[in-house]
Amino acid sequence: MVAAARFQNSSGFDTFSLQNQLIASLRHMQFRAMQDTRADYCHRIVFDTVAPAIGPPSNNYSTEPSAALSTCATTVNVNTPDYLQIDTEFFTDLGASFVAMDGITAIGFIDFDSFGRPLTAVNNCAVDCQITFSTQSLSNVCVNSEGFIRAC
């Protein structure tokens, strides 16, 4: 009975899909950060609210000289695997938008350190980072300062 209300129309399913895909992308990048501790590489998920799109700036973690720099960019690489990104077409098809906040300040990305903790340009999720998706309904993904990623 409880699940029925969420899935009576497609909007509940759409926001639930966006939420689950972002959680999976964040956890994937967090796990990668804990396994690959090279100092010059970023383990980043970018939030591009203009395009809109969410995903890593690069999936190239090779030893090439330019690889480290590409992982620290602030744009979403549309050539990364689908399981790591939510592309502009998906947002357009759903008529969805999102906002990413660290406390009360908008953020453009979340990096993870070698302990899996989030790093942002603001407060490192000290009061939870929250990404809110908006279609016909709302859903949220939260990341706390210790790296716990959850639907909220």
| pLDDT digits (tens), the chain, 152 positions | 444 444 444 545 677 888 999 999 999 999 999 999 998 999 999 999 998 999 999 999 998 888 999 999 999 998 888 889 999 998 888 889 999 999 999 999 999 999 999 999 999 999 999 999 998 889 999 999 999 999 99
Q: Quote the pLDDT of residue 5.
A: 45
Round to whole Å and give the CA distance between 37 and 48: 26
| CATH number of the domain located at residue range(s) 9-151 in this protein | 3.55.40
Round to whole Å and give the CA distance between 112 and 34: 8
Q: Quote the pLDDT of residue 94.
A: 86
Burial of 54 (0-12, 13-18, 19+ CB in 10 A): buried
Domain locations along the chain:
9-151
For residue 21, how many C-alpha atoms fall within 13 Å in the half-sphere facing its CB?
19
CA 143, 144, 146, 150 torsion-angle sign: negative
Using only C-alpha atoms, the chain has a radius of gyration, in whole angstroms, of: 15
